[in-house]
Amino acid sequence: MTATASQLANAITLLNDGHPESAETAALAILKAEPSNGAACFVAGVAAQAQGRRSTAGERYEQAIALGHEDADVWRRLGACRAHLGDFEGAREALTFAGDRAPGDARILNNLAVINIRLGFSREAVKNCRQALKTEPNYPAALNNLGIALQYEGEMAEAEALHRRAISLKPELADAWANLGVSLRAQSRYGEAIAAFRKSVALQPGNPSLYSNLLLCLHYDPSQTAETIWQEHRIFGNRFGAGLQDGEAPKSPSVQVSRNTDFGRPLRIGYISPDLRSHSVAFFLEPVLKAHDSERVDVTCYSDVAAPDGVTARLQQASAGWRDLRGLDDAAVARVVREDGIDVLIDLAGHTAGNRLAVFGQRAAPVQVTWLGYPGTTGLAEMDYRLTDAVADPVDDHHSERLVRLPAGFHCYGPPQDAPAPARQPDRPPTFGSFNNLSKVTPDVIRHWSRLTASVSGARLLLKSRSLADPKVQEQMRELAVAGGLSPARLVLVGHVPDLAAHLALYGDVDVALDPYPYAGTTTTCEALWMGVPVVTLRGDCHAGRVGASLLTTTRLEHWITDDVAGYDRVAADLISNPERLDHWREMLRPQIAASPLCDAAGFSLSLESAYHQMWRVKQGMH
């Protein structure tokens, strides 16, 4: 054995014995004497990776590859480093090269599937996982990831079965329990979903994302009360923040929105979200970013988007500052926000997927606000304010935040520029419809809508949701319709339509949109109104069930707000039985919505800026 080979063997031994610092020193000594030693570069990279220095490790792997040391393992490790650093496209490239060098390697294929899911290539991820499972049929991680990919494809029943199989092989796999909960929630099986989410939390009690899954699901379940939902959010706040004591009110002073709050410089505002992309949040944020007054606010967006798209580019162009958070942990994000000198930091996700509530728990900014993406409190004492309105939240109960009620609704809608003109499809029966996420459409609601539809001669019910791509879910819907007295022949089920213009054009097949309860729609309500379709809503007893009422109030369409099922049925039946009136609304709704406060970006942004300024004045003691 040569001296170099002996030194390399010693470095590998040190690495295998759990001494990465010494192994790295030994490998670097080889490289100093022999810079072209690709194997030493590789060992130095593995040692740096073991110490958590992934950027350095990635550089070492790239150097090793350039020197000809490019087997599957170096490409696999390079892919892992790039993924941890937020370079998902680069990770995909590296893992693809790794797979080329080790065809059928289950772990490489599984890792590639994870990246493809992050980048939105769910069909490719399905192929990756199925290939991995051919090699290793009982691989829990691949079973779990195949289930996730199928969720994106709308195949919830098979996803459920895969998650259950992964759990049977590895009961301690918290992610599999969480993803089982997602599959069950998408099938409106809330009790089972909540039990699965609770199991995931029990397995990893220190993981805030798993707890967020549970909290979000509670809003869908009609058996939950506002008090039980609030108490669960308090538990989250106590576990991941400072928490509130029993009976304690939010610590932040109350704020009244006025129009005279300037104090000499633009406020530094930060919006943080994983959804700055083709997502519902963008419809309500983009018009605000474009209308913000740069003399009053200096805006930075903190984007945690794995796969930026055209919408991301538009949002970035509309924002004075932009920070890409990919690859940064919560502590690093909090440091970035502090270094940027942000005065007011606004969360746009709440407890939805990919949230950064842990950043707010570290008090990243002097004033912290939640708005838009979640139908309730965060539970964090560190979250100072929550933006809402008097219709959505008429009382202050069940919040860790102070409520700031904007005067003309808490939404500002930016209609899609390529939306087709409203037009009723000819030669079809009268049709009730809902394009809401099926998680919001409870079994009781399906039976109710079926009874309503059956009561109108010749009418049909059209449901559109990603989950309805699954034949088993379709069958569940047909059974519920029959239980409500509606023939399956009068039920139309449509899965996901990826093209936005085509999705909006489907409103031509609907005469009256039905808002679900207890969790009302938001984007779907705005879309229906923009496409000339009336929306009937049932006003609930908490925010999630009152958003429809808020939107209809903002657009001066209060006559479609109801307070009980009988009123809901009466308004819906009256609407659908009057074709001439429906034609009127099809023609007149869009201009009415465009002229309403819902689409008044300038006025809304002025109120929003004034609220931010007043929050800052209160923080500085300038009441």
The CATH number that applies at residue 471 is 3.40.50.2000
Q: List residues bridging with 463 in a β-sheet.
A: 434, 493
pTM for this entry: 0.92
- The pLDDT score that the predictor gives to residue 621 is 82
261 pLDDT more than 60:
no
32 confidence band (pLDDT: 50, 70, 90): very high
- In degrees and rounded to multiples of 5, residue 302 shows phi and psi of -110, 105
Same domain, 478 and 559: yes
Same domain, 334 and 228: no
**CA-based torsion, 396, 398, 404, 410: positive or negative:** negative
Same domain, 522 and 591: yes
259 confidence band (pLDDT: 50, 70, 90): very low
600 pLDDT more than 90:
yes
- The pLDDT score that the predictor gives to residue 260 is 47
516 pLDDT more than 50:
yes
250 confidence band (pLDDT: 50, 70, 90): low
257 pLDDT more than 70:
no
- The pLDDT score that the predictor gives to residue 247 is 54
- The pLDDT score that the predictor gives to residue 251 is 56
267-273 sheet: strands from edge to edge: 321-324, 297-303, 267-273, 344-347, 367-370, 385-388, 402-405
- The pLDDT score that the predictor gives to residue 1 is 56
**CA-based torsion, 562, 563, 565, 570: positive or negative:** negative
Same domain, 595 and 610: no
248 pLDDT more than 80:
no
Tokens of 541: 């007893």
Same domain, 435 and 374: no
Same domain, 438 and 406: no
Tell which residue, 276, 328, 331, 327, has the closest CA to residue 300.
Answer: 276
The number of folded domains in the chain is 3
Same domain, 483 and 398: no
Domain assignment of residue 215, given as a range: 154-236
622 pLDDT more than 70:
no
Tell which residue, 148, 91, 159, has the closest CA to residue 117.
Answer: 148
Q: Is 190 left (phi over 0), alpha (psi -120 to 50) or beta?
A: alpha
Same domain, 609 and 595: no
Number of neighbouring beta carbons within 10 Å of residue 504 = 21
Mean pLDDT across 442-451: 97
Q: For 404-544, where are the alpha helices, taking DSSP H only? A: 443-454, 471-483, 500-505, 523-530
Same domain, 455 and 319: no
Same domain, 273 and 406: yes
Q: For 506-596, where are the alpha helices, taking DSSP H only? A: 523-530, 547-554, 565-576, 579-594
- In degrees and rounded to multiples of 5, residue 491 shows phi and psi of -115, 125
- The pLDDT score that the predictor gives to residue 241 is 85
90-109 pLDDT, tens digit each: 999 999 999 999 999 999 99
Mean pLDDT across 465-475: 94
The CATH number that applies at residue 348 is 3.40.50.11380
Average pLDDT, the chain: 95
Residue after which a domain boundary falls, among 236, 252, 281? 236
- In degrees and rounded to multiples of 5, residue 615 shows phi and psi of -60, -40
Same domain, 372 and 314: yes
5 confidence band (pLDDT: 50, 70, 90): confident
613 pLDDT more than 80:
yes
197 confidence band (pLDDT: 50, 70, 90): very high
For residues 528 and 513, the answer to whether their CB atoms sit within 8 Å is yes
- The pLDDT score that the predictor gives to residue 2 is 80
- The pLDDT score that the predictor gives to residue 243 is 63
Same domain, 386 and 522: no
537-586 pLDDT, tens digit each: 999 999 999 999 999 999 999 999 999 999 999 999 999 999 999 999 99
DSSP strands (E only) in 235-343: 267-273, 297-303, 321-324
- The pLDDT score that the predictor gives to residue 623 is 55
Q: List residues bridging with 368 in a β-sheet.
A: 345
Share of the chain above pLDDT 70, in %: 96
